[in-house]
Amino acid sequence: MNLKLLGSSLIIAGTALGAGMLAIPMVLAQFGLLSGTILMLVIWSGTTYAALLLLEASIKVRGGLGMNTIAKQSLGKGGQLITNGLLYALLICLLMAYIIGAGDLVHKMVLNLGLDISLVQSQILFAVIAGGIVAAGTGVIDKLNRVLFLLMLAVLVITLFALVPNMSLAHFFTATNDSSIDLIKTSAVLFTSFGFFPVIPSLVSYNENATHAQLRNMVLLGSLIPLVCYLLWLYAVVGSLSYEQLTQFNNVSELINVLATRFEGIHVILSIFTGLALLTSFFGVALSLFDQNIDLFKQNRAVTYVLTFILPLLGAIFAAEKFLAVLSYAGLIMVFIAVFIPMMMAINLRKSEGKTQTAISNDEYYEVGGGQIAMMVCFSFGLFLIGAQVI
C-alpha cells in the first residue's frame, strides 16, 4: 500500500476514532471483557461489511465525490432525496458537535495564553481555520491527518504503557451484569464509534488510480485500526480499575481524575488525545460534507466552503442546547444511512448489471463477497442496531 492509500486509511480511522473512545470502558466493563470484546467484534464486522458495500457502489458508479451521485444512479430520484436528507441531517449534527467541543478547547487554550475571547468567537475561529483546511482539498487533509493521527497513536501508546504496571489480571475476569438486554443497549454507543462510512466516496475519488483490491484493503485497514485502539484502551482501563470504581463515575472527567492518581501526567496526555481525536474526526466528517456539496451543487470551492460550514456553525452558536436533543437521534439516522442504504445501493447495482448482461472483465468489476446470505446477515445487523436504539 502506497503512502496515499495509507493516508486514506488513516483518514478513515481518524474519522471513526473520536473522543468517545474514552467512555467505552465505562459502558462495557460491567459485562466483562469477553462479552464486551465479542460485541465489539460483531459491531465492527457489521459496519465494515456495510462500508465495503458502499465502496462497491462507489466503484461501480465511477464518479461523484459524495453519496449524491451514487444514490441517484443506484436508487433513483426518490432514493437520492432520502439519502441526501439523512446524510445532511447526520453530518450537520456531527459537525455541530465537533464545533462545540473544539470551540471549548480553543477557548480554554486561548485563555491560558492570556487572550480574552468569547466562546462564540472561539467556535468561529475553529470553524473558519479548520474549514479552510478542508476546502484546500483531500490531499492537504491527507498529509495533515497523517501527522495528527501518528501523534494521537503515540499519545495512546504512552498512556497504555503508563497504565500497564498497575493492571490486575483479576479485573479481566470480573462480570457483574449478565443481562443480555443491557449489553445490547451498548451497541448504539459502539456503532457510532465506527462511523467512518461518509468519507469513503471522497477517498475512492482521491485514489482514482488504485486497484479495487487496494481500495478494499484501504477500508479494511482503516476500520481495523480503531478496533485495535478501542480494545487496547478497554483492556488497559478495566485492568487498572475495579468494576466498583468504574461504576462510580458519572463522566469521563471523573475517570481521568482517578487514573491521574496513578500517573501524574495523564490529564495532559488524555487532553491532547481528546483534542487530536476530535480534530481528525472533524476533518473526516467535514470532508464528506464538503465533497457531498460539490457533488450536489456543482459550485466552486469558495461557495462550497460557505455552504458546508455555515449551518453547523450557526447551529453550534444559536442552538447548542436544542441540538443535544436532536443528536440523540443521530445513531438511528446512522443505521439507515450506513447500513440499509449501502445495502440497497449494492443490490440495485447488481440487479442492473444482471439485466444488461454486460461483459465486465475481472479487473473492472468489484463485488463484496458473501452473496445473498451476507446481505441477509447485514439486514439482520441493521435490525439489531435499531432494536438497540429503541430498547
Domain boundaries, the chain: 3-390
Please, which residues have CB within 8 angstroms of residue 72's CB and are 6 or more apart in sequence? 79, 80
Q: Are 25 and 255 in contact (CB under 8 A)?
A: yes
Give the residue among 228, 223, 245, 260 at the shortest CA–CA distance from 157.
228
Please, which residues have CB within 8 angstroms of residue 310's CB and are 6 or more apart in sequence? none
What is the spatial distance between Cα 76 and Cα 94, in angstroms, rounded to a whole number? 27
Angle (deg, nearest 10), helices 212-240 and 3-16: 40
For residue 326, give the C-alpha cell.
436532536
Q: Are 145 and 331 in contact (CB under 8 A)?
A: no
For residue 25, give the C-alpha cell.
470502558
**Residue reference for cell 465511477:** 62
- Distance set, CA 234 to CA 41, 153, 186, 222 (Å): 13, 15, 14, 19
Please, which residues have CB within 8 angstroms of residue 25's CB and are 6 or more apart in sequence? 233, 234, 237, 238, 241, 246, 255
What is the spatial distance between Cα 278 and Cα 222, in angstroms, rounded to a whole number? 17
For residue 201, give the C-alpha cell.
466516496
Q: Can you count the helices (H) and strands (E) in the chain? A: 19, 0
Cα first-last separation, the chain: 42
Give the residue among 142, 288, 308, 131 at the shortest CA–CA distance from 201.
288
For residue 279, give the C-alpha cell.
480534530
Q: How would DSSP label each residue in 79-119?
A: HHHHHHHHHHHHHHHHHHHHHHHHHHHHHHHHHHTT----H
**DSSP 8-state class, residue 22:** G
What is the spatial distance between Cα 50 and Cα 198, in angstroms, rounded to a whole number? 12
pLDDT in tens, the chain (391 residues): 689 999 999 999 999 987 678 888 888 888 888 888 999 999 999 999 999 999 999 999 986 678 999 999 999 999 999 999 999 999 999 999 899 888 888 988 888 888 888 989 999 999 999 999 999 999 999 999 999 999 999 999 988 888 877 777 766 777 777 788 888 988 988 998 898 999 999 999 999 999 999 999 999 999 999 999 999 998 888 888 776 777 677 667 777 777 777 777 788 888 888 889 999 999 999 999 999 999 999 999 999 999 999 999 999 998 777 665 666 678 889 999 999 999 999 999 999 876 554 444 454 578 999 999 999 999 999 999 999 988 7
For residue 130, give the C-alpha cell.
479548520
Biggest CA–CA distance in the chain, Å, is 68
As a whole number of Å, the CA-based R_g of the chain is 21
pTM of the model: 0.92
Residue 170 is predicted with a pLDDT of 67
Please, which residues have CB within 8 angstroms of residue 253's CB and are 6 or more apart in sequence? none
* Phi, then psi, of 210 in degrees rounded to 5: -75, 150
Q: Superfamily assignment of 3-390 in CATH?
A: Amino acid/polyamine transporter I (1.20.1740.10)
Q: Is the dihedral of CA 338, 343, 349, 352 positive or negative?
A: negative
Please, which residues have CB within 8 angstroms of residue 287's CB and are 6 or more apart in sequence? 11, 134, 138, 141, 199, 202
Q: Are 32 and 175 in contact (CB under 8 A)?
A: yes
Q: Is the dihedral of CA 152, 262, 258, 237 positive or negative?
A: positive
Residue at 279: amino acid letter: L
